[in-house]
Amino acid sequence: MMNDEGVRITESSGSRNYGSIKQSETGNKESQKSSLCEYITDPHYWPYHTIFLLLQCYLYFSFYYCSDNPGGLEDTIIQVMNVDTTQYSLLLFMYSAPNVIICLIGGVIVDRVLGRRLSLILVVAMTTLGQFLMALGAYLGHFWLMLVGRVLIGVGAEMTDVINVALASKRKNVTLRLSLFFTAARLGGSCTLAAPQYLYESLSFITNSHYRLGTTLLAGVGLMIVAAAVTIIIIFMDIREDAILKREKMKVSMIRCRDIKSFSFPFWLSLAMISIYVPAIFTYTTIGEVFYIQKFGLSPVASGVADSLVFSATILIAPLVGFLINAVGYHSSWSILGILTALAAHVTLLVSGQQWFIPYVAGVIYSSSYTITMPSLYSIPCIFIEPTQTATAYGFIHCAYNLAMSLLSVVTGLLVDCAGYFMLELMFSLLLYANLIMSIYLWLRYSSSDLNKLDCKKNDTTENT
């Protein structure tokens, strides 16, 4: 009896021990799941920042899909809306012209009045409304309504870039983030050059051409509705990150003129460099196709391919270049290399003969320049400004290069009509040469300062991105 009871006691105690082992295993699994969830949602670790960055990239993709939408529907809009080329060009003019003034005051409003989070919600709503007005104008056959929509889209897209740069500037790996922003923007712009026309032709069962065009434009509205949901997630993630990392809250305050006066000379110098380089490359691509046809005898298709090479490398290798620049530092040295490469592309076009392969060579060289210069040059102003003034500073930058782009577009047209493409290429070469001189001065004057490592000056937090 005693042995039987001992056996039963041992078995029962063994069964209890076995049960406790199962419970322990279950607890370990639950703790592992809990730790994994905390790892993903903790701003101290890289998955949190990767998710945040991908959401910001989607914003760029959707905004630039809407902003470049008319480019993929040019012939369709002209035919359906019964407008000429000059009237169609108003869609592009109404996008960029208001930003010369609005970006000037918009950045100040973001920093001093509304704050970045509320401002981001407003510009997303503004762009969604603008794209809806574009579609509604197509449905009703009112071209003026489409122009109103383009104004809203232009303001929203430009200010979104200002706000997202401001959000990125308080984090580490700023250069890598900006390079991914450029990649997403170019990807959205490339998609909108092909997808809308394909979608329009796929809607052949809609017999009314106005309804068909309006439905095509509603695709952009769908992207912006998703962008609105993404914006809410970004705001909540930003609030959570500031709370956990115990960042100092950026308070809004009254607008003061001395904030603008406090910007240092290297900031204004980098603004001038951006205001030369960005308009030069975008203005060049607008006339590149016709230039290749007239000078090198390429077909329209071949010249279009050569012209599109300028932005092709951005989509493919810009993130890698941004990672490299972010790791190595020396942003001014990289910008010198990129500007020198762009100058080499224009000199090649200036002094070369009429060989058919020259446009492709120049396109590849220019593409390398854009991929190197934009992440390095565009992030330099972050070094010389206070975090509370980032939106104000980049609002000035957007204002400056939109104004420069408008003026350069006019000068380009006059030079082509009056003096020919040789003088045009000479002008681009001289502009980039001046840009190169400024970048070398910046490198010589401030090479021992924070130009070496952007993350050394700011963003000294505990996040491990």
Where do the structural domains in the chain lie, given as residue ranges?
41-249, 262-454
Q: Assess contact for 334 and 142: CB atoms under 8 A.
A: no
Evaluate whether 41-249 and 262-454 have a shared fold: yes
Q: How far apart are alpha carbons 201 and 206 in whole angstroms?
A: 10
Q: Average per-residue pLDDT in the chain?
A: 79
pTM of the model: 0.76
- Per-residue pLDDT band for 339 (boundaries 50, 70, 90) equals very high
The CATH class, in words, for 262-454 is mainly alpha
289, two tokens: 């196709």
The domain made up of 41-249 is a member of CATH 1.20.1250.20: yes
Is the pLDDT reported for residue 211 higher than 60?
yes
Q: Scanning the structure block, which residue is given the tokens 């890289």?
A: 46
Q: How far apart are alpha carbons 131 and 153 in whole angstroms?
A: 7
Is the pLDDT reported for residue 465 higher than 80?
no
Amino acid at 276: I
- Give 249's DSSP letter: P
Closest CA to 396 of 254, 269, 225: 269
Q: Which pLDDT tens digit goes with each residue over 286-331?
A: 777 778 888 888 877 777 778 777 777 677 788 888 888 888 878 8
- Per-residue pLDDT band for 249 (boundaries 50, 70, 90) equals low
Is the pLDDT reported for residue 199 higher than 60?
yes
Q: Which pLDDT tens digit goes with each residue over 34-50?
A: 566 776 777 777 788 88
Q: What is the mean pLDDT of residues 103-111?
A: 79
